[in-house]
Chains A and B, each alone.
Chain A
Amino acid sequence: MLRDHRMSPVSVASSRIVYDALKASGVRLVSALPETWLVHLIRMAEEDPEMILVRLAKEEEGVGISAGAHLAGVKSAMLMQNHGLLASINGIVSCAQLYRIPLLMLISYRGEFGERDPWQTEGGGVTEDLLRALRIPFSYLDNVGHVAARIAKAQTLSLSANKPVALLLCRDLMWEEN
């Protein structure tokens, strides 16, 4: 069956809860590279006059932008797909980790159970091992009930440790069909 992408099953309600939690945790700059699951979050950032949205050509740029924002006293978040994490590793290690820069990364966790797109399946299989190898603390956003608390706590750890942290945006939260 063909899917009609104009009727996206990406959850607006969950995206709103994630976005409001980012705002509540003090985030005022969001860098993003569009991907299906992030469309509503990016639109919310775009429509919010209190938010600086930086649309990227490649996700690694976001590490530098967030580093600059942090040093300038502004909290930020990066929105990207897990393949964006793969594309950002040098920046994460040799900018954010080398210089002890807090980085709040919201990563859409493509390729886990339920993934239909064959091209997404390889990245899903390495995402968690990669985060562990990089010693990046991470947790899952897979239920609306804990989104706000986990984002707040991730932000707290990132700032107290001066290190990158990751939250995996999971299918059960972001996608409204089974």
Chain B
Amino acid sequence: MLRIDALRAVYDRLEHLVVVTIMGAVAAELQSLGHRPNFFYLQHAMGLASSMGLGIALTKPDTQVVVFDGDGSVLMNLGGLTTLARYRPKNLVHVVFDNESLLSVGGFPTATSTGSDLAAIAAAAGIPRTGAVRTIAEFTKAFDEALSAGALTTLVAKVDAVGPAQFVTDLSLLENRFQFQRYLKST
């Protein structure tokens, strides 16, 4: 499964959700499908996208939040899974694109390439709904179920270690940040 195909498969669901992504390929690919003011791309601070999502979910409990995370980022903040599980906001869906690689810095293999199982780690951390998917059909179904489940979900999507040719887009970081804040204020 290609990550951009997975993003494309659920893109129309994202129109009225609050979306936080990690840096690199995830941010560039989602932008390539069409930026929206309700999308925030955390272009650094690896590991903190899920923490940002938690901060939004806890302070806007009536707003559905989706985090598009990655294996490298989650591995930098495994403790954050226990914090997500501790507060288990019902309005947070945590998607982890697992390409078993630190793609944007040269494709070095992460520990998920040698057997570390992020869905199992998330489940053991106490996240109420977890799962792993390998096809677009499975991903789309699991994503939709997560949105309607009303329970914190960590969904690991195994994807190929390929991405866009470049990661810099013409959306400035601060433009994105203030536009996103204004969007949240309006909801």
**Does B31 touch A at the CB level, under 8 Å?**
no
In the complex, the answer to whether B44 meets A68 with C-beta atoms within 8 Å is: no
With a cutoff of 8 Å between Cβ atoms, the chain B residues found around residue A99 in the complex are: 42, 173-174, 177
Q: Is the CB of A29 within 8 A of B177?
A: no
Least CB separation from A55: chain B residue:
B86
Inter-chain contact B80/A57, CB cutoff 8 Å: yes
* Inter-chain contact B77/A61, CB cutoff 8 Å: yes
Residues of B within 8 A of A149 (CB): none
Interface string of B23-43 (1 = CB under 8 A from A): 000000000000000001011
Q: Enumerate B52-88 residues with CB–CB distance to A below 8 Å.
A: 52-60, 77, 79-80, 82-83, 86-87
* CB contact under 8 A between A90 and B45, given known A61-B80, A64-B52, A68-B53: yes
Contacts of A7 in B (CB 8 A): none
Q: Provide the residues of chain B in CB contact with A72, threshold 8 Å.
A: 55-56, 59-60, 184
**Contact at B49–A64, with CB atoms within 8 Å?**
yes
Complex: A58 Cα to B40 Cα, angstroms: 23
Q: How large is the interface on B (under 10, 10 to 19, 20 to 34, 35 or more residues)?
A: 20 to 34
Interface range, A side: 20 to 34
Q: Mark A75-113, 1 if CB is under 8 A from B, else 0.
A: 010000000000000110011001111000000000000
Q: Do A94 and B44 have beta carbons less than 8 Å apart? A: yes
Determine if A38 is an interface residue (Cβ-Cβ < 8 Å).
no
- B59 touching A73 by the CB < 8 A rule? yes
Identify 28 residue pairs between A and B in the complex whose beta-carbon atoms are under 8 Å apart, listed by A's number: A57-B82, A60-B77, A61-B48, A61-B83, A62-B51, A63-B45, A64-B42, A64-B48, A64-B54, A65-B51, A65-B54, A67-B48, A68-B51, A68-B52, A68-B54, A69-B59, A70-B55, A71-B40, A71-B52, A71-B181, A72-B55, A72-B60, A73-B185, A90-B45, A91-B45, A94-B45, A95-B42, A95-B44
